[in-house]
């Protein structure tokens, strides 16, 4: 059964996923670690470790995108202007120095997150798009507040926070277009259910990673 039976209403996938995962979204916002960073209550090393954990996650996610690029549903979501690995690697070079790759370590929660990505995002469009949606739409939402705040409190002037900068993207217009793409996916109810469930799982994995960072840095 197509989800386009009610394209203007609650049956739209973009509406359904936001409604179904609101609690997880709110829990992520209440984590406290990101607020502490934005307020400058943590040492800069805490921010550097967040950037490192992001690198592990995006390395897995963007590798999945390259692997799944021949899938037409996945291909519709592969926007080059969203890719974060080049920005993260520039940030890590700035934060850790030229030997950054040997100095960063995935936390246990991050390893679990990446394992899930490798399990679900390399073989099914529902899994890949669920994690793509959760990460990049989040980056284009809260990340647009967090990036300038971090730059201000840690004295970063163009370097070290490129992860949060999308120079070729209008966040509002892009998120609207992205939701239109979701609403036109020709998925069955079972496939849509799998997508929504995986978005909820992705939020949970992100929360666990942030919780571990919060516990480490107080």
pLDDT for residue 141 is more than 70: yes
In eight-state DSSP terms, residue 97 is: -
pLDDT for residue 143 is more than 90: no
Structural contact between residues 113 and 208, judged by C-beta atoms closer than 8 angstroms: yes
pLDDT for residue 5 is more than 50: no
Cα 35 from Cα 48, distance rounded (Å): 15
The gap from C-alpha 182 to its chain's centroid, in whole angstroms, comes to: 16
| Burial group, residue 82, by CB count within 10 angstroms (0-12, 13-18, 19+) | buried
- State the CB neighbour count (10 A cutoff) for residue 141: 15
Query: In this structure, which topology does domain 3-217 adopt according to CATH?
Result: Heme Oxygenase; Chain A (1.20.910)
| DSSP track, 153-185 | HTT-SSSS-GGG--TT--HHHHHHHHHHHHHT-
Q: What mean pLDDT do residues 159-172 have?
A: 95
Structural contact between residues 25 and 205, judged by C-beta atoms closer than 8 angstroms: no
For residue range 73-132, what is the model confidence (pLDDT) as tens digits? 999 999 999 999 999 999 999 999 999 999 999 999 999 999 999 999 999 999 999 999
Cα 149 from Cα 25, distance rounded (Å): 20
Structural contact between residues 208 and 109, judged by C-beta atoms closer than 8 angstroms: yes
Binned at pLDDT 50, 70 and 90, residue 198 comes out as very high
pLDDT: is 111 or 26 the higher one?
111
Using alpha carbons only, give the angle 3, 9, 128 rounded to the nearest 5 degrees: 45
């Amino acid at each position: 059964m197509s989800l386009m039976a009610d394209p203007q209403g609650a049956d739209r996938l973009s509406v359904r996923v936001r409604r179904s995962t609101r609690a997880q979204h709110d829990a992520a916002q209440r984590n406290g670690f990101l607020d502490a960073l934005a307020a400058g209550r943590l040492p800069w090393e805490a921010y550097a470790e967040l950037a490192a954990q992001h690198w592990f996650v995006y390395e897995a996610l963007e590798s999945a995108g390259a692997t799944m690029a021949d899938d037409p549903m996945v291909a519709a979501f592969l926007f080059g202007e969203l890719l974060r690995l080049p920005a993260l690697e520039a940030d890590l070079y700035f934060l850790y120095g030229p030997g950054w790759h040997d100095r960063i370590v995935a936390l246990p929660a991050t390893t679990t997150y990446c394992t899930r990505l490798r399990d679900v995002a390399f073989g099914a469009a529902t899994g890949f798009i669920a994690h793509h949606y959760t990460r990049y739409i989040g980056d284009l939402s809260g990340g647009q507040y967090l990036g300038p705040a971090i730059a201000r409190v840690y004295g970063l002037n163009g370097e070290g926070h490129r992860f949060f900068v999308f120079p070729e993207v209008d966040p509002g217009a892009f998120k609207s277009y992205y939701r239109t793409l979701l609403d036109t996916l020709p998925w069955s109810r079972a496939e849509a259910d799998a997508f929504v469930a995986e978005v909820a799982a992705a939020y949970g994995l992100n929360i666990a990673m942030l919780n571990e960072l919060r516990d480490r840095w107080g």
